[in-house]
Amino acid sequence: MFRTRRSGRTGAVTTPGKPAGSAARRPLLFVGAVAVLGFLGVFFAWPVLAILHRGLRPETALVLVDHGTWRIVAFTLGQAAASTALALAAGMPLAYLLARVRIPGKVLLRAVITVPFVLPTLVVGMAFRALLGTAEPSVSAIVLANAFFNVAVVARTVGGLWAQLDRRAEDAARSLGAGPLRTFGTVTLPALRPALWSATAVVFLFCSTSFGVVLVLGAGRYRTLETEIYLRTVRMLDLSGAAALSLLQLAAVLAALAVAALARRRRESAGGVRAAERPARNPRGAEWLVVAAGGAVLAALLVPIGALLVRSVSSRSGWSLAGYRALSGTGDGALGVSGWQAALNSLRTATDATWMALSLGVLACLVLISLRKRWTAELMDTALMLPLGVSAVTVGFGYLITLQLLPGDLRTSPLLVPFAQALVVTPLVVRTVLPVLRSVDERLREAAATLGAGPWRVRREVDLPLAGRAICTAAGFGFVVALGEFGATGFLARPEAPTLPVAISELISRPGELNTQMAYASCALLMLVTAGAVLVIESLRTDSVGEF
């Protein structure tokens, strides 16, 4: 019954009935598309193609016939799939907690589950190594750590949509005699699918390009495309081999995105999104099991976080706050700036990256929903996702050989870091906002147009307010991603302006107890900054209807 209703709605959206003011919209659409694709072209496509071009030689093909290469491909995809599955399984109960259960201080819960996402992979890798007692290379440790980082993506993406689902559909199913499982399977899950696909795609890309975790917990023995591209580019200067592997990575990512796009077809319109909602309530009966599962996941997330905090106050001679006190200094000159200054740099860089990514992402979404041709939209959507699946070192080395051709040699500009981060954040904005915009009832837009609103007025008065909540979510999450970004940042950050993750990596690379303590204290500071940022941004989006 629900299916019929949904497909009816979908039909209404895709019916090529004249969209509001389509003639006037074309040039604007064009300008928006040019802006988005232009940024992507300059800061992604051009550098990547340039570095590939440098490497491609006839013997590049030899890498492809080496069966060792295919082992690496298989391991990359296998560990990414396993990690994604685990992150989904662990993230769902948390999403449920966030969306459907009335808990005091839920904002705090949101902040806590976001923290793992920003932690430096090297440090978390070392924490897992200590906690699991596996100094030997271990695949399960890699999968666990990858999932640890990405649970937040699932919980937030799925939880965000779940909170907006009309609960009455489920209640109706229940009162018609469906059990809780059946209701979940036939009503809730189908409605969550857009968010689930979004989360799956993003987490899969993150896991397949995971670098630090694979190195540390694989003890350099397990190799993925990402680690191999890094080693070939950075250590061996084997650009030819690196190009071959980069092409494989690109192909794998495209294949994954194509699968996601096919699965997403006609589904990214979330059924029944309502602006006003009041879905949180006390759990009943079997729902307590899910709550318990969520609690268990939360506890599991807190263990490594706790271990890092304990480490930050430990010394050879017992408890000590020396690491925290050292934050006001530069760690014996290890850093170009003090720990506090690094925190400030992190905030400033992330702020820039966030507003850039929000502008681009929202613009991209508006273009995407305006495109009438399904395949044009899919292509552009895929292009926007690609930066998540391409090795940071490929992009970084690409910058080195291309950006000097632009005026004002951006290679040494402080803005290069936020640009690179925006590249990673934009796809997340798109994945968060697009499903909501797609689900806006076309009739609302038509009504606004009938009442005399121009195309941009329709966007402003109909789409943006309805997507406002998703945009705020995207801003918060994007900010957090930028805070924790290390792949490109570590490569591009200037020594006089290190971000916290860069500072932590430099501190932990030096001998001496104080440096180690300061590294862990910086981790704690990063967690605090993250939690603070999430709290501030969440408070912006709490609206009058509120779920608390």
Partner 1 sequence: MKRHTARRMRAAVATAAVLLVAGCSLIGTDGGSEGETVTLVTHDSFAISDEARRHFERESGYELRVNKMGDAGALTNELVLTKDAPVGDVAFGVDSTFYSRALDFDVFEPYRPQGSGSIPVKYAVVDPRLTPVDAGDVCVNIDKSWFAQHDVPEPENLADLTEPRYRGLFAVPSPATSSPGMAFLLNTIDGFGRQEGWKNYWRQLMSNDVRISSGWQEAYNQDFSGSAGNGQRPIVLSYASSPAAEVGEDGESRTRALLDTCYRQVEYAGVLTGAEHPKRARELMDFLLSWKFQSQVSEQMYVYPTVLGVDLPENWQDVAPLPPEPAEMNPEVVEQNREQWVSQWRELTRS
Q: What is the dihedral of CA 263, 264, 265, 267, to 10 degrees?
A: 120
Taking the complex as a whole, the smallest distance from the CB of residue 90 to partner 1 amounts, in Å, to: 26
Q: Verify binding: residue 329, partner 1, rule CB under 8 A.
A: no
Q: Verify binding: residue 130, partner 1, rule CB under 8 A.
A: yes
Length of the chain: 548
Taking the complex as a whole, the smallest distance from the CB of residue 145 to partner 1 amounts, in Å, to: 13
Q: Shortest CA distance to 19 belongs to which of 486, 403, 445?
A: 445
Give the residue with the Cβ less far from partner 1, 105 or 133. 133
Taking the complex as a whole, the smallest distance from the CB of residue 148 to partner 1 amounts, in Å, to: 18
Measured between alpha carbons, how far is 482 from 129 in angstroms, rounded to an integer?
26
- How many residues of this chain interact with partner 1, rule: CB under 8 A? 76
> Which listed range, 8-16, 29-37, 265-273, 462-470, lies at the site for partner 1 (CB under 8 A)?
462-470
Ranges within 151-210 binding partner 1 (CB under 8 A): none
Q: Verify binding: residue 357, partner 1, rule CB under 8 A.
A: no
- Identified binder of partner 1 from the candidate list 332, 376, 528, 548, rule CB under 8 A: 332
Alpha helices in 135-281 (DSSP H): 139-164, 167-175, 180-183, 189-208, 212-217, 225-230, 239-264
How far the first Cα of the chain sits from its last, in Å, is 32
Ranges within 7-46 binding partner 1 (CB under 8 A): none
- Is the separation of the CB atoms in 517 and 322 below 8 Å? yes
Taking the complex as a whole, the smallest distance from the CB of residue 106 to partner 1 amounts, in Å, to: 19
Give the residue with the Cβ less far from partner 1, 148 or 184. 148
SS3 label, residue 84: helix
- Is the separation of the CB atoms in 97 and 191 below 8 Å? no
Q: Which two tokens stand for residue 243?
A: 């190009």
Q: Verify binding: residue 475, partner 1, rule CB under 8 A.
A: yes
Helices (H) and strands (E) in the chain, counts: 26, 2
CA atoms within 13 A on the CB side of 496: 3
- Identified binder of partner 1 from the candidate list 293, 400, 447, 535, rule CB under 8 A: 400
> Which listed range, 30-38, 101-109, 178-186, 539-547, lies at the site for partner 1 (CB under 8 A)?
539-547
Q: Verify binding: residue 352, partner 1, rule CB under 8 A.
A: yes
Q: Verify binding: residue 436, partner 1, rule CB under 8 A.
A: no
Backbone phi and psi for residue 341, each to the nearest 5 degrees, phi listed first: -60, -40
Taking the complex as a whole, the smallest distance from the CB of residue 277 to partner 1 amounts, in Å, to: 11
H or E stretch including 29? helix 22-40
Ranges within 132-161 binding partner 1 (CB under 8 A): 135
Ranges within 228-267 binding partner 1 (CB under 8 A): 231, 233-238
- Is the separation of the CB atoms in 193 and 184 below 8 Å? no
- Is the separation of the CB atoms in 325 and 489 below 8 Å? no
Give the residue with the Cβ less far from partner 1, 52 or 471. 471
- The two most distant CA atoms of the chain are separated, in Å, by 75
Ranges within 491-520 binding partner 1 (CB under 8 A): 491, 494-497, 505-506, 508-513, 515-517
- Identified binder of partner 1 from the candidate list 334, 363, 367, 385, rule CB under 8 A: 334
Q: Verify binding: residue 465, partner 1, rule CB under 8 A.
A: yes
Can you tell me which residue has the tokens 């666990």? 144
- Identified binder of partner 1 from the candidate list 208, 209, 349, 370, rule CB under 8 A: 349
